[in-house]
Copies of this chain bind each other. A is one copy, B any other.
Amino acid sequence: MKKLINSPETLLADALAGIAAAHPGLAVDASARVVLRARPAEPGKVALVSGGGSGHEPLHVGFVGPGMLDAACPGEVFTSPVPDQMVAAARAVDTGAGVLFIVKNYTGDVLNFRLAAELAAEEGIAVATVLVDDDVAVEDSTWTAGRRGTGATVAVEKIAGALAERGAPLAEVAEAGRRVDEASRSFAIALTAATVPAAGRPGFDLPEDEIEVGVGIHGEPGRRRAPMRPAAELVAEVVDTVLADHHLGPGDEVIALVNGLGATPLLELYVVFGEVRARLADHRVTIARSLVGNYVTSLDMAGFSLTLTKADRQLLQLWDAPVDTPALTWS
């Protein structure tokens, strides 16, 4: 294993030092392990807090800033943050309008965010939660009851974040987040496994000519192993799998995320995106907005995920609202 780290034990602390140095728009509370906006939101704005295991960067720390999150709680690699982090984050960002927890559906995250919500409530902080469970690959998995939360998290954080900036109340912001999750489906293919630094070896073995179809972002097994094939064939299977589970039909519009899992060159992601667009066109589904790049990674895993969020005019307006974070910026 070759990793640009000092040690698995110091990895998170070292990375947080780098994040603090790299992004003047962020404030890092190293002892609480919370990443915040350097300039807190105006009083009255609902605050958004997310978090999860590290190793998926830019998720979540890269989505902290005006228009998206108020704080992120990074856990150790592929390990849930602890409730203390979440409570510290909620305390730091609550302006009195309440806090929305955005939680990817993994058992550890769900339990810890639930406990944190109870602790925050005892302190008088109003908390609502959106659970993200967009991955259609499997029901129940290594670390999850139900469907796993993956790429839809970006859309949930963006759209709920935009609504919060407009001054919407907590219940409405939470409802919008849930609506985005319900409108989203994801599916991923791995070409290689990720290596967790503390483990020191790839999470699974994959022969040189095989892929894992429906892989999870921690290397959880998917639906099956399959032979490697040309991009157009892989994309056709991914698109068709997502559409088979989705309420999408001719004339519908989507927000499409073609997401690199960490080690896949951007050049290849563009090939994938071109094929996604063509396959969706076969189904008479149109891409209204898109992202192509590394947004929800799995350390050094090669492969990609596709997330399709069914869009309507309101969702697109919120998607288009200004955002200023390390990983997403537009005005």
Contact = CB atoms under 8 A, between A and B. Distances in A.
Interface of A: 1-7, 11, 14-22, 54-55, 57-58, 62, 77, 191-192, 208-209, 211, 228, 230-232, 234, 258, 262-275, 277, 287, 290, 292, 294, 297, 299-300, 302-304, 329-331
A290 B5 contact: no
Contacts of A274: 14-15, 17-18, 20-21
A292 B4 contact: no
Contacts of A191: 2, 4
Contact of A268 (B5, B228, B265): B5
Contact of A292 (B14, B18, B268, B299): B18
Given A4-B304, A21-B290, A57 B263 contact: no
Contacts of A303: 4
Contact of A263 (B6, B15, B269, B302): B302
Contacts of A11: 267, 271
What are the 7 tightest A-B residue pairs by CB atom distance, in nearest-first order? A18-B274, A18-B270, A263-B263, A17-B274, A4-B268, A57-B266, A18-B273
B300 A263 contact: yes
12 contacts: A4-B231, A4-B304, A5-B271, A14-B271, A16-B270, A18-B274, A18-B275, A57-B267, A264-B300, A265-B300, A267-B299, A331-B331
Contacts of A299: 265, 267
A126 B211 CA distance: 51
Contacts of A297: 265-266
Nearest to A194: B265
Most chain B CB within a 10 A radius of its CB, from A17, A265, A287, A330:
A265
Contacts of A77: 267
Nearest to A330: B329
Given A2-B211, A4-B304, A265 B55 contact: yes
Contact of A267 (B15, B263, B292): B15
A209 B2 contact: yes
A54 B267 contact: yes
Nearest to A207: B2
B2 A271 contact: no
A258 B316 CA distance: 34
A300 B261 CA distance: 12
Nearest to A74: B267
